[in-house]
Structure 1
Amino acid sequence: MTHVVTEQCVHCKFAECVTYCPVACFREADSFLVIDPDECIDCGNCVQACPSDAIYPENEVPAELAPALEWNARLAPLLPLATIRVQPLDDAEKWNGAPDKWASLAPDLAPRRA
Protein backbone atom coordinates (compact mmCIF):
# COMPACT_ATOMS: atom_id res chain seq x y z
CA MET A 1 0.00 0.00 0.00
CA THR A 2 1.05 3.59 -0.53
CA HIS A 3 -0.03 7.04 0.53
CA VAL A 4 -1.21 9.68 -1.93
CA VAL A 5 -1.30 13.45 -2.00
CA THR A 6 -4.70 14.86 -2.95
CA GLU A 7 -5.86 18.17 -4.36
CA GLN A 8 -5.75 19.87 -0.97
CA CYS A 9 -2.00 20.32 -1.60
CA VAL A 10 -2.50 22.25 -4.85
CA HIS A 11 -1.50 25.91 -4.50
CA CYS A 12 -0.47 25.36 -0.87
CA LYS A 13 2.60 23.10 -0.91
CA PHE A 14 3.34 23.45 2.78
CA ALA A 15 5.88 20.59 2.34
CA GLU A 16 6.36 19.74 6.03
CA CYS A 17 5.65 16.16 4.95
CA VAL A 18 8.92 16.00 3.02
CA THR A 19 11.01 16.20 6.18
CA TYR A 20 9.10 13.33 7.81
CA CYS A 21 9.58 10.88 4.93
CA PRO A 22 12.33 8.32 5.63
CA VAL A 23 12.60 7.18 2.00
CA ALA A 24 12.32 10.41 -0.03
CA CYS A 25 9.20 9.48 -1.97
CA PHE A 26 7.88 13.02 -2.54
CA ARG A 27 8.11 14.70 -5.94
CA GLU A 28 7.73 18.43 -6.43
CA ALA A 29 5.87 20.51 -9.01
CA ASP A 30 5.64 24.30 -8.92
CA SER A 31 2.43 24.37 -6.90
CA PHE A 32 2.04 20.91 -5.33
CA LEU A 33 3.69 17.67 -4.26
CA VAL A 34 2.90 14.06 -5.15
CA ILE A 35 4.06 10.75 -3.68
CA ASP A 36 5.84 8.19 -5.82
CA PRO A 37 3.85 5.00 -5.16
CA ASP A 38 6.85 2.85 -6.07
CA GLU A 39 8.96 4.47 -3.33
CA CYS A 40 6.43 4.96 -0.50
CA ILE A 41 6.88 2.44 2.31
CA ASP A 42 3.52 3.25 3.92
CA CYS A 43 5.00 4.54 7.18
CA GLY A 44 2.32 7.22 7.53
CA ASN A 45 4.68 9.85 8.94
CA CYS A 46 3.58 12.37 6.33
CA VAL A 47 -0.12 12.20 7.18
CA GLN A 48 0.22 13.87 10.56
CA ALA A 49 2.76 16.39 9.24
CA CYS A 50 0.48 17.79 6.53
CA PRO A 51 -1.28 20.98 7.71
CA SER A 52 -3.78 20.85 4.84
CA ASP A 53 -4.84 17.23 5.41
CA ALA A 54 -3.88 16.41 1.85
CA ILE A 55 -2.37 12.94 2.37
CA TYR A 56 -4.28 9.67 2.71
CA PRO A 57 -3.50 5.97 2.65
CA GLU A 58 -4.51 4.79 -0.82
CA ASN A 59 -7.34 2.63 0.54
CA GLU A 60 -8.82 5.56 2.50
CA VAL A 61 -8.95 8.22 -0.20
CA PRO A 62 -12.46 9.74 -0.25
CA ALA A 63 -14.38 9.05 -3.48
CA GLU A 64 -14.30 12.70 -4.55
CA LEU A 65 -10.50 12.67 -4.29
CA ALA A 66 -9.98 9.28 -6.00
CA PRO A 67 -8.38 10.89 -9.08
CA ALA A 68 -5.37 11.45 -6.81
CA LEU A 69 -4.39 7.80 -7.23
CA GLU A 70 -3.81 8.23 -10.97
CA TRP A 71 -2.42 11.74 -10.49
CA ASN A 72 0.35 10.66 -8.09
CA ALA A 73 1.29 7.56 -10.12
CA ARG A 74 1.43 9.44 -13.44
CA LEU A 75 3.25 12.57 -12.28
CA ALA A 76 5.75 11.10 -9.80
CA PRO A 77 8.13 9.74 -12.47
CA LEU A 78 8.07 13.09 -14.28
CA LEU A 79 8.81 15.40 -11.36
CA PRO A 80 12.03 16.05 -9.46
CA LEU A 81 12.63 14.60 -6.03
CA ALA A 82 11.65 16.83 -3.12
CA THR A 83 14.23 16.42 -0.38
CA ILE A 84 13.94 19.55 1.74
CA ARG A 85 11.07 21.49 3.20
CA VAL A 86 10.39 24.58 1.13
CA GLN A 87 8.46 27.66 2.12
CA PRO A 88 4.73 27.36 1.48
CA LEU A 89 3.46 29.25 -1.53
CA ASP A 90 2.78 32.93 -0.87
CA ASP A 91 -0.99 32.54 -1.02
CA ALA A 92 -1.13 29.08 0.57
CA GLU A 93 -3.44 30.14 3.37
CA LYS A 94 -5.91 31.58 0.86
CA TRP A 95 -5.98 28.27 -1.04
CA ASN A 96 -5.94 25.98 1.98
CA GLY A 97 -9.30 24.20 2.07
CA ALA A 98 -10.53 25.72 -1.21
CA PRO A 99 -12.62 23.36 -3.35
CA ASP A 100 -11.91 22.08 -6.87
CA LYS A 101 -8.27 23.11 -7.06
CA TRP A 102 -7.45 20.50 -9.70
CA ALA A 103 -9.49 22.59 -12.16
CA SER A 104 -6.95 25.39 -11.77
CA LEU A 105 -4.07 23.25 -13.05
CA ALA A 106 -2.82 23.05 -16.62
CA PRO A 107 -4.41 20.05 -18.39
CA ASP A 108 -1.16 18.05 -18.40
CA LEU A 109 -0.88 18.46 -14.61
CA ALA A 110 -4.52 17.79 -13.74
CA PRO A 111 -5.71 14.28 -12.94
CA ARG A 112 -7.26 12.27 -15.74
CA ARG A 113 -10.77 11.51 -14.65
CA ALA A 114 -12.53 8.39 -15.84
Structure 2
Amino acid sequence: MTYVIGANCVDVKDRTCVAECPVACIHEGDRMLYIHPEECVDCGACEPVCPVEAIYHVDDLPADWLWHLDAATEVTAGREDAEPVPDHPAVTALPARPPTW
Protein backbone atom coordinates (compact mmCIF):
# COMPACT_ATOMS: atom_id res chain seq x y z
CA MET A 1 0.00 0.00 0.00
CA THR A 2 1.02 3.61 -0.31
CA TYR A 3 0.22 7.17 0.57
CA VAL A 4 -0.90 9.63 -2.11
CA ILE A 5 -0.53 13.39 -2.39
CA GLY A 6 -3.63 15.02 -3.82
CA ALA A 7 -4.95 18.29 -5.19
CA ASN A 8 -4.42 20.38 -2.05
CA CYS A 9 -0.68 20.28 -2.75
CA VAL A 10 -0.95 21.90 -6.19
CA ASP A 11 0.87 25.25 -6.18
CA VAL A 12 1.60 24.90 -2.43
CA LYS A 13 4.41 22.31 -2.11
CA ASP A 14 5.10 22.89 1.60
CA ARG A 15 7.80 20.14 1.61
CA THR A 16 7.44 19.35 5.32
CA CYS A 17 6.53 15.83 4.24
CA VAL A 18 9.84 15.49 2.37
CA ALA A 19 11.78 16.07 5.59
CA GLU A 20 9.68 13.48 7.45
CA CYS A 21 9.92 10.71 4.85
CA PRO A 22 12.46 8.09 6.02
CA VAL A 23 12.91 6.58 2.54
CA ALA A 24 13.04 9.69 0.31
CA CYS A 25 10.11 8.55 -1.84
CA ILE A 26 8.58 12.01 -2.32
CA HIS A 27 9.43 13.59 -5.65
CA GLU A 28 8.99 17.23 -6.59
CA GLY A 29 7.28 18.46 -9.73
CA ASP A 30 6.91 22.10 -10.74
CA ARG A 31 3.45 22.44 -9.20
CA MET A 32 3.13 19.63 -6.65
CA LEU A 33 4.83 16.75 -4.87
CA TYR A 34 4.35 13.07 -5.72
CA ILE A 35 4.87 9.93 -3.62
CA HIS A 36 6.50 7.10 -5.56
CA PRO A 37 4.05 4.25 -4.85
CA GLU A 38 6.67 1.52 -5.18
CA GLU A 39 9.15 3.23 -2.85
CA CYS A 40 6.64 4.22 -0.15
CA VAL A 41 6.97 1.94 2.89
CA ASP A 42 3.51 2.86 4.21
CA CYS A 43 4.91 4.37 7.42
CA GLY A 44 2.52 7.33 7.44
CA ALA A 45 5.10 9.86 8.69
CA CYS A 46 4.19 12.31 5.94
CA GLU A 47 0.45 12.48 6.52
CA PRO A 48 0.19 14.25 9.89
CA VAL A 49 2.77 16.94 9.02
CA CYS A 50 1.06 18.13 5.83
CA PRO A 51 -0.36 21.58 6.63
CA VAL A 52 -2.87 21.48 3.77
CA GLU A 53 -4.18 17.93 4.32
CA ALA A 54 -3.09 16.79 0.88
CA ILE A 55 -1.77 13.35 1.92
CA TYR A 56 -3.98 10.30 2.31
CA HIS A 57 -3.48 6.59 2.61
CA VAL A 58 -4.62 5.09 -0.70
CA ASP A 59 -7.51 3.34 1.08
CA ASP A 60 -8.78 6.69 2.39
CA LEU A 61 -8.21 8.76 -0.74
CA PRO A 62 -11.29 10.80 -1.71
CA ALA A 63 -12.91 9.36 -4.84
CA ASP A 64 -12.33 12.51 -6.87
CA TRP A 65 -8.60 12.29 -6.07
CA LEU A 66 -8.08 8.69 -7.22
CA TRP A 67 -6.45 9.97 -10.41
CA HIS A 68 -3.57 11.29 -8.28
CA LEU A 69 -2.40 7.72 -7.64
CA ASP A 70 -2.21 7.05 -11.37
CA ALA A 71 -0.48 10.39 -11.92
CA ALA A 72 2.14 9.63 -9.26
CA THR A 73 2.71 6.17 -10.70
CA GLU A 74 3.25 7.61 -14.17
CA VAL A 75 5.56 10.51 -13.28
CA THR A 76 7.73 8.57 -10.81
CA ALA A 77 8.24 5.47 -12.98
CA GLY A 78 11.95 4.79 -13.26
CA ARG A 79 12.89 7.58 -10.83
CA GLU A 80 14.90 7.03 -7.68
CA ASP A 81 16.20 9.02 -4.73
CA ALA A 82 13.57 11.76 -4.82
CA GLU A 83 14.66 12.99 -8.25
CA PRO A 84 12.59 15.88 -9.63
CA VAL A 85 9.77 14.78 -11.93
CA PRO A 86 7.75 16.48 -14.65
CA ASP A 87 4.23 17.29 -13.51
CA HIS A 88 1.53 15.00 -14.79
CA PRO A 89 -0.50 16.54 -17.68
CA ALA A 90 -3.64 16.49 -15.51
CA VAL A 91 -1.82 18.63 -12.94
CA THR A 92 -0.45 21.09 -15.49
CA ALA A 93 -3.99 21.50 -16.84
CA LEU A 94 -5.36 22.61 -13.45
CA PRO A 95 -5.96 26.34 -12.98
CA ALA A 96 -3.31 28.15 -10.95
CA ARG A 97 -4.05 28.51 -7.26
CA PRO A 98 -3.76 32.13 -6.14
CA PRO A 99 -1.05 32.85 -3.53
CA THR A 100 -2.27 32.87 0.07
CA TRP A 101 0.09 35.60 1.29
**Fold similarity call, TM over 0.5:** yes
RMSD (Å), alpha carbons: 2.2
| Residue in structure 2 matching 1:109, options 89, 93, 99 | 89
Q: Match for residue 97 of structure 2?
A: none
SS in structure 2 at match of 1:110: helix
Q: Is 1:11 matched up with 2:11?
A: yes
Q: Is 1:47 matched up with 2:27?
A: no
What TM-score do the two structures reach when normalised by structure 2?
A: 0.78
Q: Aligned ranges for residues 16-95 of structure 1 at < 5 Å?
A: 16-77=16-77, 81=82
SS in structure 1 at match of 2:27: strand
CA 63–34 in structure 1, closer or farther in 2 if over 3 Å, else same? same
What TM-score do the two structures reach when normalised by structure 1?
A: 0.70
Which runs of 5 or more residues in structure 1 are unaligned? Answer: 83-105
Shift of 1:109: 2.6
Q: Measure, in 1, the Cα distance between the counterparts of 2:12 and 2:41.
A: 24
Shift of 1:48: 0.5
What letter matches 1:43 in structure 2?
Answer: C
SS in structure 2 at match of 1:4: strand
Which runs of 5 or more residues in structure 2 are unaligned? Answer: 92-101
Q: Match for residue 2 of structure 1?
A: 2
Number of equivalenced pairs: 88
Q: Measure, in 1, the Cα distance between the counterparts of 2:49 and 2:76.
A: 20
Q: Measure, in 2, the Cα distance between the counterparts of 1:76 and 1:10.
A: 17
Shift of 1:15: 0.7
Moved over 4 A (4+): none
